[in-house]
Structure 1
Amino acid sequence: MYKSILFFLALLPLFCQAQLTVSGKIINAADKQPVAKASIFLSNTTVGTTSADNGNYSMVNVKPGQYTLVVSAVGYETYNYNLAANANVTALNIELKPTSIELKDVVIKPDKEWEQNYAAFKNELFGPSPAAQECKILNPEMLDLTYDKVHNRLLAKSYDYLEIENRALGYKLHYKLEDFERDYRDNSYYHQWSVLFEDLKGSKSQQRRWNKNRINAYLGSSEHYYRSVLNHQTEKEGFKTLRLIRKDNPKRPTDSLIKAKMHHFMLVQSAHKVHGKIVANDSLTYWANQSAIPKIVQYLITTPQHTDSLLHRTDVTGLYALSFKDCLYVLYTKKHNTTTMSNLPMNAPDNLTSIVTLTDPYLFFDTNGVVANLHGFVYEGDWAARRVADLLPVDYEPPVKKP
């Protein structure tokens, strides 16, 4: 069985060259009449079209992979469909439900709090990349922003598609923000979206710059890595896959014990006031120092792992799985580390670093290198820091180098 899996995967680079067609018809679910001028696109790609007067649509040059097909039209609910594109898809007919909610004109009044929330939102959405300075939201009035003071969270969604220009990569993004949350308590970040990429028009010099920046954004990315894993070319592409072992630190007491001890000795300290001054309490200092001890200890195994042993085929055509012990420690050796990670091992090489920790048994991804189970893992390092400013369409292919 293992040999047959490797044989199938060895054929993958040839299989991926195929370009597919997705076609069908958009109709009204209420009266079965065709819906004209509906927007149909594969999220996170450059592939999109609109339906004709008879409701028919056709999308060509679709790379094999797992996609979310998004259909939207004025007066109808947005439709999302999980599409496994492994062969030509015909007669994909979709019924749109009329919506009873009328779109209202959105007017933003000058508001200091909204401006502060908007600035924070842009920082989170675009990320720390230098490319963020060249990104602009053209219609911010489509944003619904809320700062939850009780839970210290920034929440957002968009009423309609945000129009975002990325002048660093040369794309215009039609970006529907379904859900966004930045929790400042645990430093977590989550957002759910659908997006269609459109190439910006520019001079030849601008296009050369955009192509160069796109290549740079792709190199070392998670998509680059997972594609390299499928093609058995991780080392050739500049990646090293190591194993990071993390364990609870046996020298550190539990948070509950530290909290209980500090509370106890604070009461003791308060009870021993002398002339209005609190007497120093060595025990309180001791337990405060205990809280500064790292919760985990970690060991980096510097012998590279063979990713073929981590890769598995699934029962879904075009979908693959990675499984591994402990944490996956991925180095991209052609770039220096630019992220400010405070928890790197002492023997960590100075290369672009990403850490993957599984919360599910497997990490699933398709032939484009796109992860399917977004809640099944946690990224740290470079891959965690990447945001919209570095976002490429999943059907992006770097130019092939001439021999």
Structure 2
Amino acid sequence: MKKSVFLACLVCFVSVLQAQNFPILGKVVDSTSGQALSKASVFCQNTTFGTITNNEGLFYMNLPNGGYDLVISYTGYEKKLLRISNTQPQKDTLLFVLAPQDNSMAEVAVVASNEVADGWNKYGKFFSDNFIGTTPNAAHCTILNPEALRFFYTKKRNRLRVTAKEDITIINNALGYSIRYQLDSFSYDYNTKISQFTGYPLFEEMDTTEDVKKTWVSNRAKTYLGSRLHFMRSMYDSIITDEGFTVEKMNDDPKSTKGSNIENLYDSSFYFVDSSGVSVGWDGRYRIGYRKVLPDKKFLQEFRLPANASVQVTLLDIADGFVIEQNGYFYEQYDVINSGYWAWKKLAELLPYNYEYE
């Protein structure tokens, strides 16, 4: 009898675990021959979840519920990107057909461009400040292979562009992560003073002593509080105010700093919950405040703000709403532009989507 009860409990436990995760099975093949591509890189960007394909080009991952960008890449081939979620209908096997990369135009572009021969020596610190950041955490980050970076400066457009010959590896000793970053592009416009970069990070937990691990846990928690990830998860769970956030709708005039509090953040006219996640129908400019943690002194100094400022402030410019999933992942991310505190916190403050606050 006891054995039967134990087996029944075990079945229930396994069922609960399966309900909290969803499987992804896929195959990666060459577009011309249809042959399997072995050891192709497969990972969910901005997470610790990654693997490679076997000799048959197959891969399998079991992911916690939520949304992810699945990145498939193979040397000499164009990468594939697919948005996946436990809320989507599950297919038996996903097929990824990779096309060989056409490098002919890229080679012509390089010849015609203004590549800086000693780019890292000239622009390395500037790149790091705008890519990794200038926060206290950033001071503990190191790019292990800077020789992979290529720097291009266009005098006519007064613009710096940075690409990478291979994945760059960043060690974040403040948070305890090794990050493999597939950099698509980085650009800085000296006229507008706007930097933009796109790419795909894969996190790996670093190993160390128990005392250092405790420091990393504490640093991650401090980094999480008030972050965009924290905000999105709070929005998903309908606990924005409880978590210390405030939201104001800004005036339409882009030069105006006036805004009005949103009385009901979960009004059904712009907040909608269904099986695919939480849809937030915001449009325009919004001011996000976070009151439970003071703004970093370095931020106040860099932006010449009052030393007694007590609120972290971020401005959002939203084109057409967004959808949030359980783990804080949201889309469409390119339609949500942030400036202010969140923009100041760059790669050195990035936490994976599978991070759990503790």
**TM-score normalized with structure 1 length:** 0.73
Q: Cα distance 1:182–1:85, how it changes in 2: closer, same or farther (>3 A)?
A: farther
Residues in 1 aligned to 2:239 and 2:17: alpha-carbon distance in whole angstroms: 16
Instruction: Please state how far the C-alpha of 1:213 moved relative to its aligned partner.
Output: 1.0
Question: Which residue of structure 2 lines up, in the alignment, with residue 247 of structure 1?
Answer: 253
Deviates more, 1:386-395 or 1:22-31: 22-31
Question: Which residue of structure 1 lines up, in the alignment, with residue 316 of structure 2?
Answer: 356
**What amino acid maps onto 1:86 in structure 2?**
T
Question: Which residue of structure 1 lines up, in the alignment, with residue 185 of structure 2?
Answer: 179
Instruction: Please state how far the C-alpha of 1:200 moved relative to its aligned partner.
Output: 0.9
Question: Which residue of structure 1 lines up, in the alignment, with residue 3 of structure 2?
Answer: none
**What amino acid maps onto 1:74 in structure 2?**
T
Residues in 2 aligned to 1:208 and 1:361: alpha-carbon distance in whole angstroms: 41
Residues in 2 aligned to 1:375 and 1:84: alpha-carbon distance in whole angstroms: 18
Question: Which residue of structure 1 lines up, in the alignment, with residue 63 of structure 2?
Answer: 61
Of 343, 349, 355, which aligns to 1:390?
349
- 1:221-232 equivalences in 2 (<5 Å): 221-232=227-238
Residues in 2 aligned to 1:363 and 1:100: alpha-carbon distance in whole angstroms: 34
Instruction: Please state how far the C-alpha of 1:20 moved relative to its aligned partner.
Output: 1.4
Of 181, 201, 209, which aligns to 2:207?
201
**What amino acid maps onto 1:375 in structure 2?**
Y
Q: Deviations over 1:203-255 (max 9, x none)?
A: 1111111111111111101111121112111122111223333537xxxxxxx
For the pair 1:70 / 2:68, whether they are aligned, the reply is no
Instruction: Please state how far the C-alpha of 1:120 moved relative to its aligned partner.
Output: 0.9
**What amino acid maps onto 2:235 in structure 1?**
V
Of 315, 333, 338, which aligns to 2:291?
333
SS of match in other structure, 2:63:
strand
Residues in 2 aligned to 1:350 and 1:32: alpha-carbon distance in whole angstroms: 59
Instruction: Please state how far the C-alpha of 1:342 moved relative to its aligned partner.
Output: 6.4
Q: Cα distance 1:228–1:120, how it changes in 2: closer, same or farther (>3 A)?
A: same
Q: Which has the larger radius of gyration?
A: 1
Residues in 1 aligned to 2:119 and 2:39: alpha-carbon distance in whole angstroms: 38
Question: Which residue of structure 2 lines up, in the alignment, with residue 191 of structure 1?
Answer: 197
Q: Cα distance 1:209–1:50, how it changes in 2: closer, same or farther (>3 A)?
A: same
Contact 2:71 2:81 in 1 (8 A): yes
Q: Cα distance 1:187–1:398, how it changes in 2: closer, same or farther (>3 A)?
A: same
Instruction: Please state how far the C-alpha of 1:93 moved relative to its aligned partner.
Output: 1.9
SS of match in other structure, 1:32:
coil
Contact 1:16 1:64 in 2 (8 A): no
Residues in 2 aligned to 1:376 and 1:69: alpha-carbon distance in whole angstroms: 19
Residues in 2 aligned to 1:152 and 1:75: alpha-carbon distance in whole angstroms: 31
Q: Cα distance 1:349–1:247, how it changes in 2: closer, same or farther (>3 A)?
A: farther
Q: Deviations over 1:105-138 (max 9, x none)?
A: xxxxx95554121221111111121111111111
SS of match in other structure, 1:331:
strand
**What amino acid maps onto 1:117 in structure 2?**
Y
Question: Which residue of structure 2 lines up, in the alignment, with residue 32 of structure 1?
Answer: 34
- 1:142-181 equivalences in 2 (<5 Å): 142-181=148-187
Instruction: Please state how far the C-alpha of 1:81 moved relative to its aligned partner.
Output: 2.2
**Structure 1: tracts of 5 or more residues without a match:** 1-13, 105-109, 249-295
Of 352, 356, 376, which aligns to 2:335?
376
Of 107, 115, 125, which aligns to 2:121?
115
Of 124, 139, 149, which aligns to 2:145?
139
- 1:251-262 equivalences in 2 (<5 Å): none
Instruction: Please state how far the C-alpha of 1:31 moved relative to its aligned partner.
Output: 2.2
Residues in 1 aligned to 2:238 and 2:273: alpha-carbon distance in whole angstroms: 17
Instruction: Please state how far the C-alpha of 1:376 moved relative to its aligned partner.
Output: 2.0
Residues in 2 aligned to 1:184 and 1:364: alpha-carbon distance in whole angstroms: 33
Identity %: 26
Question: Which residue of structure 1 lines up, in the alignment, with residue 8 of structure 2?
Answer: none
Residues in 1 aligned to 2:309 and 2:199: alpha-carbon distance in whole angstroms: 35
Contact 1:246 1:298 in 2 (8 A): no
Instruction: Please state how far the C-alpha of 1:386 moved relative to its aligned partner.
Output: 1.4
SS of match in other structure, 1:225:
helix
SS of match in other structure, 2:94:
coil
For the pair 1:366 / 2:315, whether they are aligned, the reply is no
Of 233, 237, 243, which aligns to 1:237?
243
Instruction: Please state how far the C-alpha of 1:100 moved relative to its aligned partner.
Output: 6.1
For the pair 1:323 / 2:329, whether they are aligned, the reply is no
Deviates more, 1:24-33 or 1:219-228: 24-33
Instruction: Please state how far the C-alpha of 1:83 moved relative to its aligned partner.
Output: 2.4
Q: Cα distance 1:113–1:30, how it changes in 2: closer, same or farther (>3 A)?
A: closer
Residues in 2 aligned to 1:350 and 1:243: alpha-carbon distance in whole angstroms: 20
- 1:39-118 equivalences in 2 (<5 Å): 39-65=41-67, 67-86=68-87, 88-99=90-101, 101=103, 112=118, 114-118=120-124
